[in-house]
Amino acid sequence: MTKEPFVTYEKLKEINEAYPTPFYLYDEKGIRENAQAVKEAFSWNPGFREYFAVKATPNPFLIDILREYGCGCDCSSMTELMMAHALGCRPEEIMFSSNATPAEEYQYAREIGAIINLDDITHIDFLEQVTGSIPETISCRYNPGGLFKISNDIMDNPGDAKYGMTTEQLFEAFRTLKAKGAKEFGIHAFLASNTVTNEYYPMLAKVLFEVAVELQRETGAHISFINLSGGIGIPYRPDQESNDIRVIGEGVRKVYEEVLVPAGMGDVALYTELGRFMMGPYGALVTKAIHEKHTHKEYIGCDACAVNLMRPAMYGAYHHLTVMGKEDSPCDHMYDVTGSLCENNDKFAIDRMLPRIDKGDLLFIHDAGAHGFSMGYNYNGKLKSAELLLKEDGSVQMIRRAETAEDYFATFDCFDIYQKLVSDK
């Protein structure tokens, strides 16, 4: 089985004439269609809002597209908050979900009016201490512990995650926050990552809805929103079936009407924080084969490396790879497709059956639109690539330039050596 790139070989060659590889390419048409589908899937809930997980793809041009569909921003750091604020997001459109949070980040979140989602019960006193008060609207992150299962399949292990409060801590936190002046409450939880099943969100919703009913009854706190966070995955492998967001939305609606409505909580707004699902399939890393090596294995060396896409090196993650222009050729060659880092895990594919790859071939690495560019780094002094947007009319817009040596050395600009560094290229 295979995956079809969202750009033709002819178009990609044209783009490559203007922009050298490696580069990231994003599909505006796909992004828009998916954002509309998410909006429609939860339109039954009047207060629904998708808070796009900025960490997945922190590019203001792409986030601006999502904002046209009512999306807000889920932020986890100072710079992500700064980006959301600079984009003109209203306070209620910014969710701040962080952990081990520095004082200045809480202070800035309060300054811009972001909704704060507390990761730990000890952060109540810390937030009050560093900002002077507890906001009237606040959220708490919940971690029920144990294993999270669907049927007999273990989906993830929340009990091993560093995030969130225990059940007992959650109830205590609500009582404490209410006593300190909070008036509107939210609950947030993330129990499994990259699930490729339509059952996950409704099951997560049931867990949170039942806890919400108990919380409101026992603490008297008014729960105004429940944040289902992320976890809806994408089919990285071609034999995986895609999630159907409309089926997922309908599943959540049924649980909402079964649990919340009878408890008199039919006014609760639902929020999501989808990063991977919103952007993953609509971004690709485009690289060029520049070397071939024949030793104990057959290697293809690319001009991209784990600096550009580290998921395969970090997690052993699978990303499908298309040799552009050879889509119909037989996959009769086994390759390791590598980058040039001084690390043996710098590989995009291992023992992958592909068409014959020749030097100069363009390789399209699929499903890199989330946690791709954003996880990049500068090991070996490698520079991060440009990001490009393939617009609906077929034109291409550069939405981030490639890094330069001057960028890499910029933090030495307060020292005498800086001018020598940037002149000796």
Q: Is residue 208 part of a domain?
A: yes
Q: Is residue 164 part of a domain?
A: yes
Q: Are 352 and 38 in contact (CB under 8 A)?
A: no
Q: Is the full-model pTM beyond 0.85?
A: yes
Look at residue 41 and tell me whether its pLDDT is greater than 70. Answer: yes
> Over 51-113, what HEC string results?
EEEHHHCCCHHHHHHHHCCCCEEEECCHHHHHHHHHCCCCHHHEEEECCCCCHHHHHHHHHHC
Q: Is residue 95 part of a domain?
A: yes
- Spatial distance between the Cα atoms of 352 and 366, rounded to a whole number of angstroms: 14
Look at residue 213 and tell me whether its pLDDT is greater than 50. Answer: yes
pLDDT digits (tens, 9 = 90+) for 159-201: 677 889 999 999 999 999 999 999 999 999 988 888 888 999 9
Q: Is residue 5 part of a domain?
A: no
Return the pLDDT at 154.
Answer: 46
Return the pLDDT at 271.
Answer: 98
Average pLDDT (368-397) is 97
Look at residue 66 and tell me whether its pLDDT is greater than 70. Answer: yes
pLDDT digits (tens, 9 = 90+) for 237-273: 999 999 999 999 999 999 999 999 999 999 999 999 9
Q: Any idea what the Cα angle at residue 68 is, between residues 65 and 74, rounded to 5°? A: 75
Look at residue 151 and tell me whether its pLDDT is greater than 60. Answer: no
Which residues are annotated as catalytic? 342
Look at residue 424 and tell me whether its pLDDT is greater than 80. Answer: no
Q: Is residue 342 part of a domain?
A: no
Percentage of the chain with pLDDT > 70?
Answer: 96
What's the mean pLDDT when you consider all of the chain? 95
Q: Is residue 4 part of a domain?
A: no
Q: Is residue 333 part of a domain?
A: no
Average pLDDT (150-165) is 68
Domain coverage including residue 243: 26-280
Confidence of residue 317 (pLDDT cuts 50, 70, 90): very high
Burial class (CB in 10 A: 0-12, 13-18, 19+), 85: buried
Return the pLDDT at 322.
Answer: 98
Q: Is residue 58 part of a domain?
A: yes
Q: Specify the number of domains making up the chain.
A: 1
Q: What is the CATH number of the domain that holds 136?
A: 3.20.20.10
pLDDT digits (tens, 9 = 90+) for 114-144: 999 999 999 999 999 999 999 999 999 999 8
Confidence of residue 150 (pLDDT cuts 50, 70, 90): low
Rg (CA), the chain: 23
Q: Any idea what the Cα angle at residue 341 is, between residues 336 and 347, rounded to 5°? A: 25
Look at residue 148 and tell me whether its pLDDT is greater than 90. Answer: no
Give me the amino acid identity at 113.
G
